[in-house]
Amino acid sequence: MFSWFSKVSPTERRTFWACFGGWALDALDMQIFSLVIPAIIAEWAISKTEAGLVASVTLIASALGGWFAGALADRIGRVRTLQVTIVFFSVCTFACAFAQDYTQFLVLKTLQGFGFGGEWAAGAVLMAETIRSSHRGKAMGTVQSAWSVGWGAAVLLYAAMFSLLPGATAWRVMFAIGLLPALLIFYVRRAVPEPTPGSMNDALDAQAPTPSGSQHAPSLPLLGIFAPSVLRMTLVGALLGVGAHGGYYALMTWLPTYLKTERHLSVLGTGGYLAVIIVAFFCGCIVCSHLLDRIGRRSTILTFSLLCVATVIVYLLMPLSNTAMLILGFPLGFFAAGIPASMGALFSELYPHGIRGTGVGFCYNFGRVVSAVFPLMVGHLAKTHSLGFAIGVDAAIAYAIVALAVLMLPETRGRTLADARLAGTARPQWSAGSPPAA
């Protein structure tokens, strides 16, 4: 299953590990909040709606950070942008440990989100431009599995800290440990080179034409993604991002609280149920990564999104025993992995070089802006319905949006990334045997 890794160059492998580490540490920092929501509610006597607001504001900030960092990556380079964003979100996560009230915590989480969104955008484009097209889906899908590694580390940390320390101290220690990702920049600076159009590892790069007059990035990269030649891709890609993030954050922000407050599981019990979902998420990313290069981006995303809708409905809206929920946690985590594991490759292949960072950052993170209402909606709906019902309805609607959006996008499997420098300057080139789908 991982035999492809031995076929890539040392530069590709180093870039892979840098992004894998970045995503794992991202997940560690971001999943801390969902695990400590009950402790924060108790400490500051805030409502579930106010707790949901923290998640929503963080997502909005991460969207703005991703769009900004994507444009910055088109200006100063992918690697330099990656380093800046890693340090920024790590320091902000650490600062959350010292918040003295709800308002301070809300501000610090907002800043953390801004850096987190930027790190994903820079890393996704770096990976897409470094890994050759024949392995791009597998590499980027596998990198997404790093999220489950960081998520699992956060759950283990949660179980350890809340077992050994009072809740009011444990959540602060968890955020303080969030400074660890900053250490990753030393590896990035030493081992990861900046990709250039001439060094991209696509099989057809040497044959790809350089359009006349397009050697430089657009003068307004933030607006370049709205050029007529790519406007449809931008709008539909953003819609896909809305559904993908809405489903994930509606589900994963509130699931630990649901397991603890409505299923009445202990700290260790909650950790056990989450462990099944996390292992399944890892497996889902790996399987999806191979499907991306085998059956294509569209078919993979459509399949996983429809199965997500079905699984969420059964898991949260049907009367199940705790044992049944434990078993169904595997398909829940497995299918939830497929959509985020696909987006990096798909979005990167929709845009030419000069605006690729901006396009990836916008599509992925616009989804975060709009999807920020989903955790808030869950908290609001839970006032009149059970928390499980609120999570299930919101997540199912979001995943249905993904299925609708992906039907409106072209198949991009096999597309090379060095074939155009500016939107509208040239028709995309395709690898032999991999024509675009209608």
**Per-residue model confidence (pLDDT) at position 197:** 56
Quote the CA–CA distance of 187 and 360 in Å, as a whole number. Answer: 24
Task: Give the pLDDT of residue 104.
Answer: 94
- Judged by DSSP in three states, 212 sits in coil
Q: Burial, 210: exposed, middle or buried (Cβ in 10 Å; 0-12, 13-18, 19+)?
A: middle
Task: Retrieve residue 335's tokens.
Answer: 């299918």
Greatest mean pLDDT among 30-34, 167-171, 336-340, 380-384 lies in 167-171
Q: Residues 333, 281: contact at Cβ < 8 Å? A: yes
> What is residue 305's predicted lDDT score, i.e. its pLDDT?
93
Q: Is the pLDDT of residue 374 over 50?
A: yes
Average pLDDT score over residue span 216-244: 77
Mean local confidence (pLDDT), 165-189: 86
Q: For residue 58, is pLDDT > 80?
A: yes
Across the chain, what does the average pLDDT equal? 80
More confident residue, 98 or 324: 98
What span, in angstroms and rounded, lies between the C-alpha atoms of 37 and 256? 9
**Per-residue confidence band for 310, with pLDDT thresholds at 50, 70 and 90:** very high
Rounded alpha-carbon distances, angstroms, from residue 236 to 215, 226, 366: 28, 12, 11
Task: For residue 202, report the phi and psi dihedrals to the nearest 5 degrees.
Answer: -65, 145
Q: Is the pLDDT assigned to residue 175 strictly greater than 80? A: yes
Q: In 262-321, which residue ranges form alpha helices assigned H by DSSP?
A: 267-294, 297-317
Domains of the chain: 10-195+225-406 (1.20.1250.20)
pLDDT of residue 106 exceeding 60: yes
pLDDT at 201: 53
Q: Is 385 buried (19+), middle (13-18) or exposed (0-12) by CB count in 10 A?
A: exposed
Global pTM value: 0.71
Q: What is the pLDDT of residues 67-88, one digit of tens each?
A: 788 778 878 888 888 888 888 9
Q: Where does the pLDDT of residue 3 fall: very low under 50, low under 70, confident under 90, or very high at 90 and above?
A: confident
Q: Does position 431 have pLDDT exceeding 60, yes or no?
A: no
Tell me: pLDDT of 195 over 80: no
Q: Which residues contact 257 (CB under 8 A, 6 or more apart)?
A: 34, 37, 38, 48, 387
Question: For 174-185, what is the mean pLDDT?
Answer: 84
Mean pLDDT of 75-104: 89
* Separation of alpha carbons 147 and 329, rounded Å: 17
Q: Are 124 and 348 in contact, with CB atoms under 8 Å apart? A: yes
**Which residues, at least 6 apart from 234, have a Cβ–Cβ distance to it below 8 Å?**
225, 226, 359, 362, 363
Q: Residue 153: in which H helix or E strand, if any? A: helix 146-164
pLDDT at 219: 43
Lowest-confidence range among 49-58, 210-219, 362-371? 210-219
Q: Is the pLDDT of residue 205 over 70?
A: no
Q: Which residue has the higher pLDDT, 404 or 325?
A: 404
pLDDT of residue 306: 94
CA-CA distance, 153 to 52, in Å (whole number)?
Answer: 23
